[in-house]
Amino acid sequence: MLRRSVAFKIAATVGFSCLALTLVVLAWVMLTGRLTEGFHLHAIGGTLLAIIVGVVTFLVVKIYLTTPLRKLTEVIVSAVQGNFLSRVKLGTRDELERLGGDFNKLLAKLTDFQASKIDADLELDMAQRELKYKEQLEEQTHIIENTNKKLTRRLSELALLYEVNRMLTSTLEIDEILKMLTEKVGGAVQVDELTVLLIDEKKNKLRIAAILGDPRASWSVNQLVDPMTGLFSESLRKGNHFLIPDLSRVPLKGKDWDYLPDNGSFLSIPMNDKNRLLGLLNFVRNDKQAFSEHQIKLLTSVTRQAALAILNAQLYQEKLDLSVTDELTKLANRRKMQTRLELEWNRARRFNSNLSLLMIDIDHFKRYNDRNGHLLGDKVLQGVARILEGNTREVDTVARFGGEEFVVILPGQDQQTAKSVADKLRRAVYGHNFPRTQSQPGGHLSISVGVAAYPGDADDPKVLLDKSDLALYVAKRAGRDRTVSYEQELERVEADRQKALAAKKNRRRRHKRKPRMELAKPN
């Protein structure tokens, strides 16, 4: 069935109204023909005609135009407010219905678009969340990977340090430790060259103790190095590690040409334990910028372990060298005294400090021994040893030199202070109540002391010992129970002493030859 347009419907309505009007006019003419006299019938007919035409027109417009337009407007307003699910329902089968149908199609497309947009937003939101989670996961993965790398590196370092410590503590022989440092530790820390330098306190120098790599022709093991010049020993003067990232950019001067390569990286770390400086460990790698901050820390830990191992070996060796003490007095024996004197002498020279030495002898000890016996004589020696120990400092060295002679080494003390110490010791021995001293001259036991000091009296430890012995000799000749400090005038006494010793030797020789001459006479 064909749809009719709104215009057709309105035209039909108007035509129908005109037809109705024509019928009304004909009816009116017929009525007016009969009632020509009644004028009011004209008014009634016109009024009825107008009412009929108006009512019909109103009904047609409302049904076919106003109501569909209102429904269409309501749907449009609802769509504007965001409700795309409402639809236009007219049933007029005209242009308005087609318009409503097209609008419904538009609403359907908008609904589909809105649904697609919601789906797209959901997908976008999910994609953003997935991307965020992926970024977080990647970040966490990166953190975990870095942490794993750090843990792996730290475990490798701990394993290396453990292995280094195990190797270095496996022996107390200094030569074995040095060999392990160069051969095993040097390979473990992956360096191309490693040089171990130890402080030689006697000569106040650095001594090359071991070398890893091809040594240059100008230096070798046991060679002495001046610690006060050159980049080679800069860390020793700084008291901290010293790094040259690129040797090719550093102008080498003096001995550095002999001790450093032309290229690569150089790292020097001092070996120390608490306040004791043992030497240096110098590392060389052929690449530039080869020592990172982290590797420097690792090599510093290795150096500390090496320092501890070397110190333990040195202390062990010192204990072996100095382990023998005087069995009777429990003091240092003569050998230990000599070693200690060398050590304190080198320290005094290096730090430009004083060093004094006391040579002590118990007066008339032979007489006491002969009259009271060796047992009481031993008790006197033990008693004097305890008095000397009890009246000196912990840094001082008290040793039995031989027989009834003792030596006291006083680091950091000048001759005048040493003389005061000697007088203090003399008074302490004099005031001690030893058994059976009535037979001694003066009724008591006494000591004589000779004093000599560095740097004023001697330039060699042996000479210092001889000077103090000469001063003791003068004290004994002067009457005993006194302290004598070495002076230049005592050299004349020494000359007289040497003459007396020579004369004594000659007498002994003549005494030995005389019986031989008497035996030869009968022939």
Helix (H), strand (E) at residue 107 = helix 95-168
CA angle 363, 415, 401 (to 5 degrees): 40
Catalytic residue among 176, 344, 404, 494: 404
DSSP state, residue 2: P
Residue 59: C-alpha distances to residues 47, 62, 98, 109, 241 (Å): 18, 5, 22, 35, 110
Handedness of CA 376, 380, 386, 389 (dihedral sign): negative
CB burial of 16-44 (b: ≥16 within 10 Å; e: otherwise) equals ebeeeeeebeeebeeebeeeeeeeeeeee
Torsion angles phi and psi, residue 198, rounded to 5? -115, 150
**194 is written with which tokens?**
């490693």
Helix (H), strand (E) at residue 58 = helix 40-61
Cα–Cα dist 392/356, whole Å: 13
The answer to whether 331 touches 406, Cβ cutoff 8 Å, is yes
C-alpha 211: how far from chain center: 26
Helix (H), strand (E) at residue 334 = helix 334-351
Region label for 289, one of left (φ > 0), alpha (ψ between -120 and 50) or beta (otherwise) = left
Cα–Cα dist 468/484, whole Å: 9
Q: What is the 3-state secondary structure (H, E, C) of 460-492?
A: CHHHHHHHHHHHHHHHHHCCCCCEEECCCCHHH
**220 is written with which tokens?**
């070798």
Closest alpha carbon to 165 in 53, 309, 4 = 309
Torsion angles phi and psi, residue 497, rounded to 5? -65, -45
In the residue annotation, 404 being an active-site residue is answered as yes
C-alpha 411: how far from chain center: 37
DSSP state, residue 455: T
Expressed in angstroms, the distance from the first to the final Cα of the chain is: 187
**Residues marked as catalytic:** 404
